[in-house]
Protein backbone atom coordinates (compact mmCIF):
# COMPACT_ATOMS: atom_id res chain seq x y z
CA UNK A 1 0.00 0.00 0.00
CA UNK A 2 1.22 3.46 -0.80
CA UNK A 3 1.77 6.32 1.52
CA UNK A 4 -1.48 7.74 2.91
CA UNK A 5 -2.48 11.31 3.70
CA UNK A 6 -3.31 11.40 7.42
CA UNK A 7 -3.34 14.99 8.68
CA UNK A 8 -2.58 18.65 8.17
CA UNK A 9 0.57 19.76 9.95
CA UNK A 10 -1.08 23.07 10.89
CA UNK A 11 -3.87 21.21 12.68
CA UNK A 12 -1.56 19.06 14.85
CA UNK A 13 -0.71 20.58 18.20
CA UNK A 14 2.78 20.21 19.58
CA UNK A 15 3.22 17.20 21.88
CA UNK A 16 -0.44 16.22 21.65
CA UNK A 17 -0.87 12.64 20.43
CA UNK A 18 -3.54 12.02 17.81
CA UNK A 19 -4.94 8.65 16.75
CA UNK A 20 -5.52 8.01 13.07
CA UNK A 21 -6.20 4.79 11.20
CA UNK A 22 -4.19 3.91 8.11
CA UNK A 23 -5.26 0.88 6.10
CA UNK A 24 -6.76 -0.64 9.25
CA UNK A 25 -3.69 0.04 11.37
CA UNK A 26 -4.11 2.39 14.37
CA UNK A 27 -1.36 5.00 14.34
CA UNK A 28 -0.39 7.54 16.97
CA UNK A 29 0.85 10.81 15.46
CA UNK A 30 2.89 13.28 17.49
CA UNK A 31 4.04 16.67 16.26
CA UNK A 32 7.52 17.57 17.45
CA UNK A 33 8.39 21.01 16.14
CA UNK A 34 7.96 20.97 12.38
CA UNK A 35 8.23 17.21 12.15
CA UNK A 36 5.72 14.48 12.86
CA UNK A 37 6.46 11.09 14.40
CA UNK A 38 4.25 8.06 13.84
CA UNK A 39 4.15 4.92 15.98
CA UNK A 40 1.69 2.07 16.25
CA UNK A 41 -1.07 3.28 18.55
CA UNK A 42 -1.38 0.05 20.51
CA UNK A 43 0.68 -0.31 23.68
CA UNK A 44 2.63 -3.56 23.62
CA UNK A 45 1.75 -4.27 27.25
CA UNK A 46 -2.05 -4.55 27.27
CA UNK A 47 -3.20 -3.08 23.96
CA UNK A 48 -4.13 0.38 25.26
CA UNK A 49 -4.32 3.36 22.90
CA UNK A 50 -1.14 5.40 23.21
CA UNK A 51 -2.93 8.45 21.80
CA UNK A 52 -4.76 8.58 25.13
CA UNK A 53 -1.43 9.23 26.83
CA UNK A 54 0.94 12.14 27.22
CA UNK A 55 4.12 13.15 25.42
CA UNK A 56 7.34 13.64 27.37
CA UNK A 57 10.22 14.87 25.23
CA UNK A 58 10.59 12.30 22.47
CA UNK A 59 8.39 9.69 24.11
CA UNK A 60 4.72 8.89 24.48
CA UNK A 61 3.53 7.58 27.83
CA UNK A 62 0.79 4.98 28.00
CA UNK A 63 -2.01 6.30 30.18
CA UNK A 64 -2.93 2.87 31.57
CA UNK A 65 0.26 1.77 33.35
CA UNK A 66 2.81 4.42 32.45
CA UNK A 67 5.28 2.78 30.09
CA UNK A 68 6.90 5.36 27.82
CA UNK A 69 7.86 4.53 24.23
CA UNK A 70 10.54 6.36 22.28
CA UNK A 71 8.97 7.97 19.20
CA UNK A 72 12.00 7.17 17.00
CA UNK A 73 12.91 3.65 18.10
CA UNK A 74 9.60 2.40 19.52
CA UNK A 75 11.46 1.00 22.54
CA UNK A 76 9.86 1.21 25.97
CA UNK A 77 11.99 3.06 28.48
CA UNK A 78 10.01 1.96 31.50
CA UNK A 79 8.11 -1.08 32.71
CA UNK A 80 5.69 -2.79 32.55
CA UNK A 81 5.96 -2.85 28.73
CA UNK A 82 9.02 -4.75 27.53
CA UNK A 83 8.37 -5.07 23.80
CA UNK A 84 8.94 -2.23 21.33
CA UNK A 85 6.16 -0.91 19.11
CA UNK A 86 6.44 -0.35 15.35
CA UNK A 87 7.48 3.09 14.15
CA UNK A 88 6.50 4.28 10.68
CA UNK A 89 7.89 6.43 7.91
CA UNK A 90 6.39 9.92 7.81
CA UNK A 91 6.85 12.66 5.27
CA UNK A 92 5.27 16.03 4.75
CA UNK A 93 4.52 17.91 1.56
CA UNK A 94 3.71 21.48 2.46
CA UNK A 95 1.00 21.21 5.09
CA UNK A 96 0.07 17.62 4.31
CA UNK A 97 1.33 14.74 6.44
CA UNK A 98 1.69 11.24 4.98
CA UNK A 99 2.34 7.91 6.70
CA UNK A 100 3.18 4.56 5.17
CA UNK A 101 2.32 1.70 7.53
CA UNK A 102 4.02 -0.75 5.17
CA UNK A 103 7.33 0.94 5.89
CA UNK A 104 8.11 0.32 9.54
CA UNK A 105 11.35 2.00 10.55
CA UNK A 106 12.14 -0.63 13.15
CA UNK A 107 11.63 -4.38 13.40
CA UNK A 108 9.16 -4.40 16.29
CA UNK A 109 6.32 -6.92 16.08
CA UNK A 110 2.87 -5.56 15.31
CA UNK A 111 0.80 -5.61 18.51
CA UNK A 112 -2.69 -7.05 18.39
CA UNK A 113 -5.38 -4.39 18.25
S1 LIG B 1 -1.28 -1.03 28.77
FE2 LIG B 1 0.33 0.37 28.35
S3 LIG B 1 1.70 0.13 30.02
FE4 LIG B 1 0.11 -1.28 30.41
pLDDT digits (tens, 9 = 90+) for 51-98: 999 999 999 999 999 999 999 999 999 999 999 999 999 999 999 999
- In the chain, the N- to C-terminal Cα span, in Å, equals 20
Q: Which of 70, 35, 77, 74 is nearest to 55 (CA)?
A: 70
CATH of domain 4-104: 2.102.10.10
Distance from Cα 2 to the centre of ligand 1, integer Å: 30
Instruction: Look at ligand 1, atom 3, and give the residue with the nearest C-alpha.
Output: 65
pLDDT of residue 26: 97
CA distance 63 to 88: 21
pLDDT of residue 2: 78
* Per-domain boundaries in the chain: 4-104
Burial group, residue 13, by CB count within 10 angstroms (0-12, 13-18, 19+): exposed
Amino acid sequence: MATTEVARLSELQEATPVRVEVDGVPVCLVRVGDTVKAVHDTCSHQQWSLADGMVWGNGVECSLHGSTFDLDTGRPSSLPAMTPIPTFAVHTDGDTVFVDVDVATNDAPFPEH
